[in-house]
Amino acid sequence: MDEQYQAANLEEMDEQQVRSFLIELMSDLGAKSGYAVRHEDFALELPQSGERIRGRENMRQFQGAYTSPPTMRLHRVVVRPGLWLAEIISNYGGQEVHYVSIVELKDGKMWRDTRYYAEPFEAPEWRAQWVERMEP
C-alpha cells in the first residue's frame, strides 16, 4: 500500500481518491501501514485521553505494538484543500466506536490527525415525537 502512495501528493487527491486511500489504509493497520505517507513531523492527537503521538517513527512503533487492532469502516469523508474530515466506525471485538478524524496535510503528506471519539448515549424520551431512530 505504501509503495503505491509513497510518491503521491495527498493534497492533490479528490474525494473519491481519498476515500479509496483511507479504505485501503484502514484495511492493514500493521507497523508499516501509512508510514511513507506521513510527514516526518506527523502527530496523532487524542484529546479525550490527553495523548499525543509525535513523529511518524513513534506512530510506526505504536501500531506495531497494538496486539489486536480494530477493524475500521469509513462512513464518510469530506476533502478540502489541506484538510480531510472522516467519520469512521471502529470495531474492537464487537464493540463499535464512532469517531471523527481531522487530518491536516503538509508537503503532500499527512501531518496532523486529531481524533474525537463519541460514546453512545440514550436519547431522552421528551424529544421522541420529533425524531426517528437510526441504526448505529
Reported as a single tens digit per residue, the pLDDT across 69-97 is 889 999 999 999 999 999 999 998 999 99
Q: What is the DSSP letter of 14?
A: -
Give the separation between CA 70 and CA 54, rounded to whole angstroms: 21
Q: What percent of the chain has pLDDT over 90?
A: 65
Residue 136 pLDDT grade (very low, low, confident, very high; cuts 50, 70, 90): low
pLDDT digits (tens, 9 = 90+) for 97-109: 999 999 999 999 9
Residue 135 in any domain: the answer is no
Residue 132 in any domain: the answer is no
Residue 58 pLDDT grade (very low, low, confident, very high; cuts 50, 70, 90): very high
Residue 125 in any domain: the answer is no
Higher-pLDDT residue of 133 and 65 is 65
Kindly report the CATH number assigned to the domain that includes residue 102. 3.10.450.50
Provide the pLDDT for residue 121.
Answer: 80
Could you tell me where the DSSP H helices lie in the chain?
2-5, 15-26, 56-65
Residue 3 pLDDT grade (very low, low, confident, very high; cuts 50, 70, 90): low
Nearest to 23 by CA among 80, 92, 89: 89
Q: Which residues contact 56 (CB under 8 A, 6 or more apart)?
A: 35, 38, 39, 40, 42
Residue 131 in any domain: the answer is no
For residue 4, pLDDT over 90 is answered with: no
Q: Which domain does 97 fall in, by range?
A: 2-118
Joined together, the cell numbers standing for residue 134 give 437510526
Provide the pLDDT for residue 7.
Answer: 56
Residue 51 in any domain: the answer is yes
Total number of domains constituting the chain: 1
pLDDT digits (tens, 9 = 90+) for 18-40: 999 999 988 887 778 889 999 99
Q: What percent of the residues of the chain are helix, what percent strand, and what percent coil, each to the nearest 5?
A: 30, 40, 30
Q: Is 56 exposed, middle or buried (CB count within 10 Å of its CB: 0-12, 13-18, 19+)?
A: buried
What element of type H or E holds 39? strand 38-46
Give the separation between CA 42 and CA 58, rounded to whole angstroms: 9
Residue 76 in any domain: the answer is yes
Residue 126 in any domain: the answer is no
